[in-house]
Structure 1
Amino acid sequence: MQELSLEQRLLIMSESMRLTEKAFAHWENAIITPDELGVLAEEFFRKAATAEKRADFQIVMWEYFGKLRNAHSNYFDRVASFPHGGMVNFSLLLLGGAWVVKEDDSGLLRTGDEVISVEGKPLKEWLDEIGRLTGITNWRSMIGRLPYYLSHFCSEEQIKIEIMDEQSCRRSFALPRKSIDFEAQNHGETTGRWLLHKKRAYIHIPSFNHPKFEERALGLLEEFRDASSIIIDVRGNGGGSTPGRLTHHLMNRPYRWWKEQARHPEFLRQRHPNSKIRFATDYSYAETEPDFIDPSIQIAYSGKLILLVDRFTGSAAEDFILPFIDNNRATIIGERTFGSTGQTLFRNFDHGNIIVMVGAVRSLLPNGGSFEGFGLVPDIEVSIRREDLYQNRDIALEKALELMEIR
């Protein structure tokens, strides 16, 4: 692992602060104010200068961006991510006050097992410790990042985890690390199938990180055009690029997107060249109201729509969901979504290994309601139980199929 020079570290720190001061649009959630950036400069330039190890500098940058408390503002280093080896890859859910296993790549843990401790430390202590460093306050949605941080702070080749199983027995496992494939998010595929031939269909879109996901969804939509109802599943979809074409092909009535705010009107002008831009009374931000978009009835799917969402549905996937909530085009089933989207300014360093991200646009519901840090609320909320996980029951899909039967 090649270390970063003092000049590189100070440049990254300087550019991070410059982009924050220039464009950061989420000060209402931050634990600092714009006026405090100057005070922080001395502290963080000193920390950047003394963090000679690449991994230590990464912690400094996490601490800095943690003060902004914005999921779309962060520091990412592909080289320094796991100084002790690969990543221990599992995911958790908070159910009834307990953290339980949702998925585990090692195959050692069962879906539904409750996690008691990691490396002998109660999971809550890990959450508090990492939260203080990174600024994460809402672990319900941000829990997807926990394995990423644990893999950095745990120094053993294998990470010891203690669980309580279905029979309330405590068991311990040593989870192996695996090298992380940063392109794996593009390896999946959008899939679809008939639930009832020529009548009901199902489409699962795992990501919008590559155009192929939307393209395949559009192809399946054409294949299922004669269906009376379609379920579109974007659970676990963390976003990517907003699938505007897919939205347009599913709309048979006027629809609109977010109300947006930005520090600089040119950001909004680039995104909405035909929209009217207005300013706050103190000129602290510019704002654009969403215009209604007329559907193309000739190409639009006209049948019934059901959309499945969960707490891991975020960013561009929330962009996808919002218009269907706003105009009641679809029935939304599942959990409250992640709660973060918006245009991000990027700056790359070290030949692309390092990315600095600053959230430059704040999104609000079309009626002006809060969204960041809160998420989108489905029409029909479902509550997952541990027994559902152990029995491999998909209660959100079951509810959708039940609704199809009623219709």
Structure 2
Amino acid sequence: MRKSIWLFALLAAVGAVPGAKAQQPPVQTVGVELRGDTMVYRTVNVPHRRHGVLRGRAWAGYSHTPWSPEQRLFALSKLWMEVRRNFAYMDRFGVERWDSLYRSMIVPVQQARNDVEFYRQLEGLCARLQNEQTFIRHSRDFPQSAVRFEDGWLLRLMDVGGHVVVSEVSRDKAQLMPPGSEILAVDGRPVEAWLGEVMTRVSASTDRVRRRLAVEQMLLDMVGSPHEVTFRRPDGSQACVRLVNARPEAGERIACTALPGHGWDELHEDFRVTWYPGDVACLKIGSFRPGRVFRAFHDAFPGVKNRARALIIDLRWNERGSSRMAAEFLSHLTRDTLLRGAVWRTRIYDAALASWGSDATPADTVGNARVKLAYEYYNDAAFSEPERSAYRFPRSREVLEVPTVILVNDATGSAAECFLALAASQPHMSTVGTPTSGCAGTVALYELLPGLQCGICTQEVRFSDGKEFVGLGIAPDVTVEDTLDDIRAGRDAALEKALELLGVE
């Protein structure tokens, strides 16, 4: 452990700048000393400079000092260390495998041509962990875009049954490339080959989610990058258009035309109540974050309670929030006062016990709990005792318990999956759609460099009966897949199935 500390101290002394903010003037570490358990860095301001490779129109507005090779190595090492220590599923991924990947990246990250290439290298490393809650993110204004292009183009894509489909496009371009058009090739390469490369950089817990996210960022590239995109319109005619990545303007709003029900704003709406025949209320819940979503639910609930004979809870595209808020929502949809949710555990470490386990072998652990624990600490395999999530609510709260169908898809994740784990014991509830994202777990954020962070999943989460869903997704009771014909016709097949199950003709 002490050797590791001094390794990172040395790297920091060469060029890392921990604790700085992206908006502060660039600084350079010129010395480091250890005072007790505190590492003290001595820094000086350095003049703003342009890295030699950051030339051309794309980098013209880049306002940050590029990360040096030494800083990149520090960031890689910091990422390696924090994942090795905190990642909840490291016992399955393998410590030796992670160490090997780290060693293989030492030279490439120092040779990266620019900040974006380095960032993508770290994205690819995180993607190998196959966990959506373990990722890289930045706060720098990289000169790139995924949906905005020159000549007034805005283009969003979605995956529908293995087809890459235009879900939303600038209104004045909709005649040329109507929503529902299928992308066939990019720069002469078949779309599947293009996607295969993008998917190597996507952090996701399931292959289905990895593909969806890759489709959404399929055209992500540096500003000024041209791409020849071949597509087929819904009427069967084919065409090719040249798209050049453009930097979005601050506050820019472009009028768009979208497939029915698949516009960006509609998909990510915070909260909405829609009524269907037979007094069936559909509650679209965009997230389980505290604040305006719950306030909107709270304001609408009395009217829903007085009228609704059945409910549809639409959790598609709900990927944010807390399990506590998910339980709060559910508490108004069941008379149960005690809701039992997922079981979780996290990795733990005790240096003294680890030292006692340094000479232990697997055979030594048989029948000896203390040696077994010491062995696990030494080999980074120790976990906390499993804890069960449980939430109690007063009987006096307002409740509407009626037949309920929950709509889910592969963008139903995190707290929304905790909602499903809590709802699994409710006999009046069922689920319709496709498997969820399989990505629950608390994220720990660490700064790697000024403007660069990593998130690491720190909890191993399961159903209360021990059944796993992280990395697999939660399978719905009734599976309904969208088809290309459905989305072009404006049909919501999952919603229609939910209405059918509730007896609405």
Short-chain TM bin: 0.7 to 0.9
What pairs with 1:142-161 in structure 2 (closer than 5 Å)? Answer: 142-146=210-214, 149-153=217-221, 156-161=224-229
**Alpha-carbon separation, structure 1, partners of 2:206 and 2:193:** 15
- Structure 2 matches for 1:21-32, cutoff 5 A? 21-27=84-90, 30=93
After superposition, the CA RMSD in angstroms is: 3.4
- For 1:285 and 1:181, the matched residues in 2 are separated by 46
Taking the TM superposition and a 5 Å limit, the aligned residue runs for 1:72-87 are 72-79=133-140, 81=142, 83-85=143-145, 87=147
1:194 aligns with 2:275: yes
Within a 5 Å distance, the mapping from 1:75-154 to structure 2 comes to: 75-79=136-140, 81=142, 83-85=143-145, 87-88=147-148, 89-95=155-161, 98-101=162-165, 103-107=167-171, 108=174, 109-134=177-202, 138-146=206-214, 149-153=217-221
Paired residues of 2:169 and 2:179 also in contact (CA < 8 A): no
Task: Spell out the pairing of 1:130-279 with structure 2 (5 A cutoff).
Answer: 130-134=198-202, 138-146=206-214, 149-153=217-221, 156-175=224-243, 177=246, 179=248, 188-195=269-276, 199-208=279-288, 211-226=291-306, 227-242=308-323, 243=325, 244-253=327-336, 254-264=338-348
1:126-146 C-alpha deviation (Å, 9 max, x unpaired): 222233455768442223422
**Aligned equivalents of 1:401 and 1:127: distance in 2?**
35
Using the alignment, how far apart are the partners of 1:237 and 1:326 within structure 2? 21
Question: 1:289-347: per-residue Cα shift (whole Å, max 9, x none)?
Answer: 42554554432322222211112212222222221124334121111111111011102
Q: Judging changes above 3 Å, is the alpha-carbon distance between structure 1 residues 387 and 191 closer, same or farther for their aligned structure 2 residues? A: same
Residues in 2 aligned to 1:297 and 1:348: alpha-carbon distance in whole angstroms: 44
SS for the counterpart of 1:56 is helix
2:434 corresponds to 1:335: yes
Q: For 1:116 and 1:137, how far apart are their aligned partners in 2? A: 26
Match of 2:22 in 1: none
3-state SS of paired residue (1:257): strand
- AA aligned opposite 2:335: N
Q: Is residue 433–residue 494 contact of structure 2 (8 Å, CA) maintained in 1?
A: yes
After superposition, the C-alpha distances for 1:373-394 in whole angstroms (9 at most, x for unaligned) are 2111112211222111111011
Aligned position for 1:8: 71
Q: Distance in 2 between matches of 1:378 and 1:180?
A: 41
Structure 1: segments with no counterpart, 5+ residues: 267-277
* Larger-gyration structure (1/2): 2
Give the equivalent residue in structure 1 for 2:411: 312
Q: TM-score, normalised by structure 2?
A: 0.68
Query: TM-score if structure 1 supplies the norm length?
Result: 0.82
Maintained 8 Å contact 2:131/2:205:
no
Establish whether residue 377 from structure 1 lines up as the match of residue 475 from structure 2.
yes
Gaps of at least 5 residues in structure 2 are 1-61, 149-154, 252-263, 351-368
AA matched with 2:276? L
The equivalent of 2:383 in structure 1 is 285
Distance 1:200 1:137 in 2: 34
Kept in 2, the 8 Å contact 1:90–1:147? The answer is no
Aligned residues: 388
